[in-house]
């Protein structure tokens, strides 16, 4: 936690890139159920003998009621609904071409820079923070830095769904210490390549998107829409309840590098129960340290994993249900976009706030990890 000491640090712009391809729950469930029925028929004997488990069917009603998700944007629809593939088909790019993740990062970055009124010459650090990077090195952040013509440094960091807030914490700390003067933080989230579309418990959860934020010192800010950061707070607590074992050791462990445990998997119900109170407590403590009360906050831009979870977190914090204007939802059309969710909510739902209004960006997810930033509109 950092209190509001001089120099004052602000978020001066944000931007998002949204793919054009959309998959509705109806399309996804129809394809999954066709796949499951074929699987069950093809493996009828093994299922009858108990050797393998029958694939249960998915339902649109369950998805909407349990999560609030109605559709998701995806980098490409190709392959996901094909019952003989059940995963997206991304185009291959050569090493001399801009990588896909850098490209979508650049799309969002340019919008954030325009919103903040910044050019590449103003920026001296690039942080790419997300649930995955498409390769280990060179860093996607350095590729983006090169593509945009930014001097200084860049690095990638992974903190699953809390990567955006943790990335913004690093930006804030470096600006406070004076090691940077203007930071571009990007969350290019390509999640569908890690979704097990053959698993009904998880096939509906994620979408793809890219988000970016510009953070700088208050004295250099010329943006008409900016937020002072009053403080940052983070917490991690180890849990394997949300996990992906995909990694570089797969080459030498001789197990299947694309096995089910290498994809996203979770005990969703346990995560829901364990993470919601941790997130509510962190925000409550963060506000108290700053001498603020939850009722003072006009808007909570929360991580977008589950509408019921967000309602529960805010009810625990405020002791009552609140108008959806206070906790804007983007889940219905974007689904869970890992770390980008709270930033998209911020980007789409902050313009109407007035000078002096308080807001909180809060993320929570795998690790477990929880991160918050308390903001005041300038």
Provide the binding-site residues for ligand CO8, judged by CB under 6 A: 58-59, 62-63, 66-67, 131, 160-161, 191, 194-195, 200-201, 204, 206, 242, 264, 266, 268-269, 271-272, 305-306, 309, 336, 338, 365-366
171 versus 305: smaller Cβ distance to ligand CO8: 305
Closest to ligand CO8 by CB, 67 vs 210, is 67
Q: Terminus-to-terminus CA distance in the chain, angstroms? A: 21
Helix (H, G, I), strand (E, B) or coil at 4: coil
Distance of closest approach, residue 244 Cβ to ligand CO8, in angstroms? 7
Smallest gap from Cβ 209 to ligand CO8, in A, equals 12
Distance CA 24, CA 218 (A): 42
- Peptide linkage before 206 cis (omega within 30 of 0): no
Asked whether the beta carbons of 138 and 315 are under 8 A apart, the reply is no
Kindly write down the DSSP assignment for every residue of 363-376, as one continuous string.
EEETTTEEEEEEEE
Query: Closer CB to ligand CO8, residue 63 or residue 287?
Result: 63
Looking at the Cβ atoms of 223 and 363, the one nearer to ligand CO8 is 363
Q: Considering the complex, state which of residue 211 and residue 242 has its C-beta at the smaller distance from ligand CO8.
A: 242
Taking a C-beta distance cutoff of 8 angstroms, is the pair 305, 341 a contact? Answer: yes
Rounded distance between C-alpha atoms, residue 350 and residue 203, angstroms? 31
Residue 1 beta carbon to ligand CO8: minimum distance, rounded to whole angstroms = 22
Is 161 known to be catalytic? yes
Shortest distance (Å) from residue 201 CB to ligand CO8: 4
Among residues 242, 166, 216, 202, the alpha carbon closest in space to that of 67 is found at 202
φ, ψ of residue 52 to 5 degrees: the values are -130, 160
Where b means 16+ CB within 10 Å and e means fewer, 6-24 reads: eebbbbbbbbbbbbebebe
Smallest separation, CB 133 to ligand CO8 (Å): 12
- Phi and psi dihedrals of 183, rounded to 5? -115, 135
Which amino acids are annotated catalytic? 161
């Amino acid at each position: 936690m950092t209190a509001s000491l001089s120099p004052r640090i602000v978020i001066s712009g944000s931007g998002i890139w949204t793919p054009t391809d959309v998959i509705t729950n109806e399309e996804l469930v129809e394809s999954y159920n066709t796949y499951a029925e074929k699987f069950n028929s093809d493996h009828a004997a093994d299922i009858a003998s108990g050797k393998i488990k029958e694939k249960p069917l998915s339902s649109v009603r369950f998805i909407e009621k349990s999560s609030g998700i109605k559709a998701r944007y995806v980098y490409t629809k190709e392959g996901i609904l094909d019952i003989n593939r059940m995963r997206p088909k991304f185009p291959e790019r050569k090493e001399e071409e801009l990588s896909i993740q850098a490209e979508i990062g650049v799309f969002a970055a340019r919008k954030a820079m325009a919103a903040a009124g910044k050019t590449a010459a103003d920026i001296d650090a690039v942080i790419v923070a997300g649930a995955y990077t498409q390769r280990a090195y060179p860093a996607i952040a350095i590729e983006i830095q090169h593509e945009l013509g930014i001097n200084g440094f860049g690095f990638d960091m992974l903190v699953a769904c809390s990567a955006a807030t943790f990335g913004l914490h690093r930006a804030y700390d470096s600006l406070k210490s004076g090691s940077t003067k203007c930071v571009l933080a990007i969350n290019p989230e390509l999640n569908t390549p890690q979704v097990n579309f053959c698993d009904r418990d998880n096939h509906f959860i994620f979408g793809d998107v890219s988000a970016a934020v510009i953070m700088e010192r208050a004295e250099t800010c010329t943006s008409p829409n900016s937020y002072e950061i009053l403080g940052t707070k983070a917490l991690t607590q180890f849990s394997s309840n949300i996990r992906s074992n995909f990694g570089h050791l797969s080459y030498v462990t001789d197990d299947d590098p694309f096995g089910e445990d290498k994809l996203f998997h979770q005990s969703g119900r346990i995560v829901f129960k364990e993470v919601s109170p941790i997130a509510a407590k962190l925000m409550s403590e963060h506000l108290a340290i700053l001498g603020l009360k939850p009722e003072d906050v006009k808007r909570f831009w929360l991580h977008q994993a589950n509408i019921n979870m967000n309602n529960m977190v805010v009810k625990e914090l405020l002791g009552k249900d609140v108008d959806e204007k206070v906790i804007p939802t983007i889940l219905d059309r974007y689904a869970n976009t890992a770390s980008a969710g709270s930033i998209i909510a911020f980007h789409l739902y902050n313009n109407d706030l007035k000078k002096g209004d308080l807001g909180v960006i809060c993320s929570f997810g795998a690790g477990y990890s929880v991160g918050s930033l308390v903001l005041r509109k300038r």
